[in-house]
Structure 1
Amino acid sequence: MLTLLAFLAAIGLLVTFHELGHYWVAKLCGVRVLRFSIGFGSPLLRFRPKETEWVVCPIPLGGYVKMLDEREGFVDPAERSRAFNNQHVLKRMAIVVAGPLANLLLAVFLYWGVIAQGVPQLRPLVGTVIEQTPAAAAGFKEGDRILSVAGDKVASWQDVRLSIVEAAMSAPRVAMEVQDASGARKQRTIDAGPFGEKAQQALQQGDPGLSPARFLLEVGALEEKGVAAKAGLKVGDKLQAVNGVMLRSWEEWVHLVRNSPGKDLTLRVEREGKSLDIKLRPQAVTQNDEVVGRIGVGPVPDRAWSGKLAFTQHYNAIGAFAAAWAKTGETAWMSVKFLGNMLIGRASLNNLSGPLTIANVAGQTAREGLTPYLEFLALISVSIGVLNLLPIPVLDGGHLMYYVAELVRGKPVSERAQLLGQKIGFILLASLMAFAMLNDFSRLFGG
């Protein structure tokens, strides 16, 4: 229920703000707005305080502003000057672009609200290097402080991930400068190519096999009726060795379990000052088309390390607004680059997300609190703004493209050309939505 409510609230807010952008500028330009609709389908609610009918419809995947237009029906001669089609092309361009710009402006204010509170950050310190990943192959060590990614200085773990995403969209290799535990500066280059397509996709999502988190070799949680619980492991047990080989880190233990589906393991643990051996056999499960071992056990976070990682970055009101403006611009530019790289094959279509994933993330962030939910809203608002500015017929950017052509040619694009463009745009958007929905089902249901 929370997921559904969070999703509906998000879509309602973002769509309303988008359509209000069109509405406000249309009114400023003297255009009569006949209907302002949130959602599609037969109206559930409607009211008409003045000349505009305001409606709420049951399909919450968009909305529209219907303006007086001679191409869509009879217009009283006395009202012709208020028809959209009779406005100067620059006014029509302003009305069309106002919706996407409203979403980008909303994102600025959402980010401002988040940043003004003080932004919890993690220092760019490597807590865990996952074995058999591009990061491990590049020579990263626990305790490395990341100084720059592809030449860009980084001050937080979020900076690291965003810079990796941006760099990975342009090249398969990402150069990073680090300061190791001894204080020496070193260059490390992450290359996901030899690790296959999944590793390359993970790199494009900012995950080369590094984590700021660090865990103790101690059992912190057990899955009820899981393999570990049935074998006799208990919360508080300290892991020492497997099959006679000493364990060095929790990540090493996870790697060993994942690579031992259906194999017998002898785990030595310390419990209440005494050592004892526990025999277990990891359950074989399928994850992302790969059979891995699983025992249902969670670690204890290294709280001393966590204390070194965390800090809060504070801003005054003006500084917070400037940071929010920059954040919106960076996010929008990254979205544009991702879409461009997707078109030329550098970014996988598997990274596309549809309404199911958006709804799932809406619910997750709402459970985490208001700040994560506001950040989610800002990100989706930027995505809606950027997507609608793409020069694809049926989107705002497609209409803008026609008006730019009209401005250059001195006459409107023919109705035949516009109709053909609408058909092509619809097919393209339907195809992208189909890919996004398939990705949603794959992520959520393991398909």
Structure 2
Amino acid sequence: MNSAHYIFFFLLAIGILIVVHELGHYAAARLCGVKVLRFSLGFGPQILMRRVGSDQTEWSLAAVPLGGYVKMLDEREGSVNVGERHRAFNTQSLGRRSFIVAAGPLANLLLAILIYWGMACAGTRDFPAVLGPVASGSSAAQAGLVEGDRVTRFAGVEIRGWSDLKWLVVQHALDAERVKLEVQREGIGLASFDLAMQGVLIDEKAPDALKQLGVSLPAILTVPVLGRPLADSPADLAGFAEGDRVRKVDGFELGSAAEFVKIIAASPGRTLSVQVERAGKLLTLEVRPESVADKPLQGRIGIPVGMDRDAVAKSIITVRYGVLEGGVHAVSQTFSTAGFYLQAIWHIVKGNISWRNVSGPIAIADAAGQSAKAGVDAYLGLIAALSVSLGVLNLLPIPILDGGHLLYYAIERIRGRALSEGAEELSQRIGLVMLVLLMSLAFFNDFHRVFFG
């Protein structure tokens, strides 16, 4: 995918999240009888604008699409006709104002529930939660797990696929010291495995959490399938063609693409006899790997090596829920994700997780492009996760965010009167500084990833 695709899928995802968020505020305001003056997707100069409805609400598309807002009738922001004073936001009861403010983040959480629900009922592709090789001396090995075990429950939660297992491991790595799990071994259900979680790092540069525990997916046994050889490369000169299926090298039968790549890398300057299958016929070709320029002891032949997609497809299962069961799963997934984000924020504040894990728009754009390339399931999953993240972030008690306004209302409820304009303005400035610092950190981390890895 080129950069235009990444930008498109990033803007599409962000646009969906912003529209849903602001529609939450808009719908709640209309439900409470508050007059909405403008609904804007984006900030800055207007690109498109249309007035709709009896209130002539302005529906606007602005130049900077990284946000949006709903402007309501409010005596604090301009004069209000006496006849419309009852429709001003500031004249509403405390409960109604709180409802209107909270509706934006809640709309994002509702979007996530609907996406997770739809995906659960439609079915998602996954690998079975079957363990591959277990590293000697690892936490998994010490717990008594062995290759071939199928994990059925983790910390009391049913496991239906590898993604479930991975997600629960990441969640419990933040706080849990030990976790109970159940497995099926040779068709027999076994329980009471006690897995130590200490030392599992949740960091963008850390290895996969499951790998840190000493487990990985089983190797998929499939013959290597070759792509198009580079012009005048050893593979091209030897007569290899796109779609060739490698069966043997020097009489040794292959079971994976990794094996073929390993043999080629270890054979610079040595002639290899390679048996391939082409259009149902077996051919034997001789190829002499050349040395890599900066690694003379490593060989290459100049052809992409992949796996047999049909064999991979046979290893994939479909995880599907019923309608009611899927709804319960969707709610649980949404709130467990929200809880994980809150835990992660707290661990970043405490210093247990590096602040370099804070991501900005460049990282999100990369994730959007990669997930769109992986398929609809992955892209929808990313939108749901981002929607939860946006909802949680906006509910934090930081002035200028929705959660900050809810904090004002909580103080108003306790004191019996609202904060003074001066106190509110000061807190808004503090909140703005905090938000700018957070955004600056996110941008810094993004650029650091791009230029320094």
Residue 428 of structure 1: how far off its partner (Å): 2.4
Match of 2:279 in 1: none
Match of 2:9 in 1: 6
* TM-score normalised by L of structure 2: 0.78
Q: Secondary structure at the match of 1:436?
A: helix
Of 23, 26, 51, which residue of structure 1 is paired with 2:26?
A: 23
Which amino acid in 2 is paired with 1:387? L
Which string of whole-angstrom CA distances, capped at 9 and with x for unpartnered residues, describes residues 386-427 of structure 1?
A: 111111111101110111111111111233332332233223
* TM-score normalised by L of structure 1: 0.79
Match of 2:129 in 1: 124
Alpha-carbon distance between aligned partners in 2 of 1:436 and 1:269, rounded to the nearest angstrom:
52
* 1:172–1:200 contact (8 Å) kept in structure 2: no
1:128–1:424 Cα change, 3 Å: farther
Which amino acid in 2 is paired with 1:415? E
* Bigger mean CA deviation after superposition, 248-257 or 41-50: 248-257
* Bigger mean CA deviation after superposition, 211-220 or 424-433: 211-220
Q: Secondary structure at the match of 1:42?
A: strand
Of 333, 337, 344, which residue of structure 2 is paired with 1:331?
A: 337
Of 227, 251, 275, which residue of structure 2 is paired with 1:271?
A: 275
Match of 2:404 in 1: 398
Alpha-carbon distance between aligned partners in 2 of 1:256 and 1:212, rounded to the nearest angstrom:
21
Alpha-carbon distance between aligned partners in 2 of 1:92 and 1:196, rounded to the nearest angstrom:
38
Residue 9 of structure 1: how far off its partner (Å): 2.5
Q: Secondary structure at the match of 1:391?
A: coil
* 2:21–2:105 contact (8 Å) kept in structure 1: yes
The total of aligned residue pairs comes to 434
Q: Secondary structure at the match of 2:39?
A: strand
Alpha-carbon distance between aligned partners in 1 of 2:25 and 2:114, rounded to the nearest angstrom:
19
Residue 26 of structure 1: how far off its partner (Å): 1.5
Residue 215 of structure 1: how far off its partner (Å): 4.5
Alpha-carbon distance between aligned partners in 1 of 2:223 and 2:400, rounded to the nearest angstrom:
56
Match of 1:92 in 2: 97
Residues 258-407 of structure 1 aligned to structure 2 (within 5 Å): 270-272=274-276, 278-279=288-289, 281=291, 297-301=304-308, 307-315=314-322, 317-407=323-413
* Bigger mean CA deviation after superposition, 82-91 or 228-237: 228-237
1:322–1:137 Cα change, 3 Å: closer
* 2:201–2:209 contact (8 Å) kept in structure 1: no
Alpha-carbon distance between aligned partners in 2 of 1:256 and 1:188, rounded to the nearest angstrom:
39
* 2:122–2:320 contact (8 Å) kept in structure 1: no
Match of 1:288 in 2: none
1:33–1:439 Cα change, 3 Å: same
Q: Secondary structure at the match of 1:36?
A: strand
Which string of whole-angstrom CA distances, capped at 9 and with x for unpartnered residues, describes residues 41-77 of structure 1?
A: 0111112223222211011111001122222233333
Which amino acid in 1 is paired with 2:340? M
1:145–1:309 Cα change, 3 Å: farther
Match of 1:289 in 2: none
1:136–1:428 Cα change, 3 Å: farther
* Bigger mean CA deviation after superposition, 193-202 or 406-415: 193-202
Which string of whole-angstrom CA distances, capped at 9 and with x for unpartnered residues, describes residues 304-360 of structure 1?
A: 575254234242x43433333333223222222222222222333333332222223
Match of 1:423 in 2: 429
Alpha-carbon distance between aligned partners in 2 of 1:253 and 1:192, rounded to the nearest angstrom:
37
Alpha-carbon distance between aligned partners in 2 of 1:342 and 1:204, rounded to the nearest angstrom:
21
* Bigger mean CA deviation after superposition, 372-381 or 14-23: 372-381
Which amino acid in 1 is paired with 2:93? H
Match of 2:51 in 1: 48
Residue 303 of structure 1: how far off its partner (Å): 5.2
Matched, 1:409 2:385: no
Which amino acid in 1 is paired with 2:86? S
1:136–1:438 Cα change, 3 Å: farther
CA RMSD in angstroms comes to 4.3
* Bigger mean CA deviation after superposition, 160-169 or 43-52: 43-52
Of 29, 38, 44, which residue of structure 2 is paired with 1:35?
A: 38
Q: Secondary structure at the match of 1:332?
A: helix
Q: Secondary structure at the match of 1:39?
A: strand
Match of 1:77 in 2: 82
Alpha-carbon distance between aligned partners in 2 of 1:229 and 1:309, rounded to the nearest angstrom:
32
1:197–1:166 Cα change, 3 Å: closer
1:302–1:14 Cα change, 3 Å: closer
* Bigger mean CA deviation after superposition, 194-203 or 82-91: 194-203
Match of 2:112 in 1: 107
* 2:130–2:149 contact (8 Å) kept in structure 1: yes
1:120–1:254 Cα change, 3 Å: same
Alpha-carbon distance between aligned partners in 2 of 1:252 and 1:342, rounded to the nearest angstrom:
41
Alpha-carbon distance between aligned partners in 1 of 2:269 and 2:178, rounded to the nearest angstrom:
37
1:301–1:197 Cα change, 3 Å: same
Alpha-carbon distance between aligned partners in 2 of 1:54 and 1:133, rounded to the nearest angstrom:
58
Residues 218-257 of structure 1 aligned to structure 2 (within 5 Å): 218=224, 220-221=226-227, 224=230, 229=235, 235-238=244-247
Alpha-carbon distance between aligned partners in 2 of 1:64 and 1:435, rounded to the nearest angstrom:
24
Residue 146 of structure 1: how far off its partner (Å): 2.3
* 2:173–2:198 contact (8 Å) kept in structure 1: no
Which stretches in structure 2 are left out of the alignment for 5+ residues? 277-281
Matched, 1:59 2:68: no
Which stretches in structure 1 are left out of the alignment for 5+ residues? 286-291
**% identical equivalent positions:** 38
* 1:130–1:210 contact (8 Å) kept in structure 2: no
1:197–1:85 Cα change, 3 Å: closer
Which amino acid in 2 is paired with 1:341? H
Residue 107 of structure 1: how far off its partner (Å): 1.9
